[in-house]
Structure 1
Amino acid sequence: MIDLGLQDVRVFVPSQDFAVSQGFYEALGWQTDYLDHQLALMRNGQHRFYLQRAYVREWAENLMLHLTVADARACHAQIAAALEGNAFPGARVAPPRHEPYGALVTYVWDPAGVLLHLAQWDEAQAG
């Protein structure tokens, strides 16, 4: 087996409107660590991804990120409040629901249609 010495994995996330998507992720608690005309490195704690100034509808609407959170219900309430007033057109959030794989999940669609699964693991599934 090849040992890549893997230290990090970062996904490239599309944006239809780069500034709106950057603002959306910042409203969700991400910080912009790097920014140029085509790319923003977004960070939340030790977790990072690249936001791109690139959009292909089929790609954006099929990309999903599964994020483990401490409290899916609190995430829902905070994100619903952040989305009031339509500051991020196209973004939406669904109430949390239990999934058969053992998590309470709040689904969030970013302004480009990327689906975030904010998952709080059930006690039996955690760890």
Structure 2
Amino acid sequence: MVDHATPNLPARDFAATAAFYAGLGFEEDYRSESWMILSRGPKDNCATLEFFPYPDLDPYQSSFSCCLRLDDLGAIMAQVEASGVPDARQGIPRYHPATPDPSGLTIAYLVDPDGTLLRLIQND
């Protein structure tokens, strides 16, 4: 197995969080009262997000964020668009389409219902 890290993110409601991410192709791998793990893609090369309960989180005050480096940014962006997440600069949830960054990377931005910013980065 290759070393990897997984973001630990807040969720006000595990069921609502799982439903939102299911629209983006994530499946629930584990859930208890205190932890939830979602993954997307084949088990040997998947994107994994882990969530802890934070029922009192104000999504408009959240400063949580993470980067997901993806082999097929276009595929997840198609799912983001199909799921009905608005392409907007305000509001929660929302996304900003993928664009070339001055760093040379192609990056899209997604804000989930709990106010977490996910930077979706195309692997080279």
Query: TM-score scaled by structure 1?
Result: 0.72
Residue 17 (str. 1) matches residue 13 (str. 2): yes
**Alpha carbon RMSD of aligned pairs, Å?**
2.9
CA distance in 1, matches of 2:101, 2:111: 18
Residue 64 (str. 1) matches residue 60 (str. 2): no
Candidates 23, 26, 32, aligned match of 2:22: 26
1:73-92 equivalences in 2 (<5 Å) = 73-83=74-84, 90-92=92-94
Aligned partners of 1:14 and 1:51 also within 8 Å = yes
CA distance in 2, matches of 1:39, 1:93: 26
Greater C-alpha Rg:
1
Cα deviation code 1:43-76 (max 9, x no counterpart):
2234423212215448x73222211223434433
- Structure 2 unaligned residues grouped into runs of 5+: none
AA matched with 1:30: F
Aligned partners of 1:83 and 1:91 also within 8 Å = no
How far does residue 117 in structure 1 lie from its aligned partner after superposition?
A: 1.0
1:1-127 equivalences in 2 (<5 Å) = 7-44=3-40, 45=42, 46-55=46-55, 56-57=57-58, 61-83=62-84, 90-121=92-123, 126=124
AA matched with 1:79: V
Cα deviation code 1:57-108 (max 9, x no counterpart):
48x73222211223434433320220259xxx93211122211111111111
SS of the residue 2:120 aligns to: strand
CA distance in 2, matches of 1:113, 1:63: 7
* Change in 2 beyond 3 A, CA 1:73/1:49: closer
SS of the residue 1:14 aligns to: strand
CA distance in 1, matches of 2:15, 2:103: 35
CA distance in 2, matches of 1:47, 1:74: 13
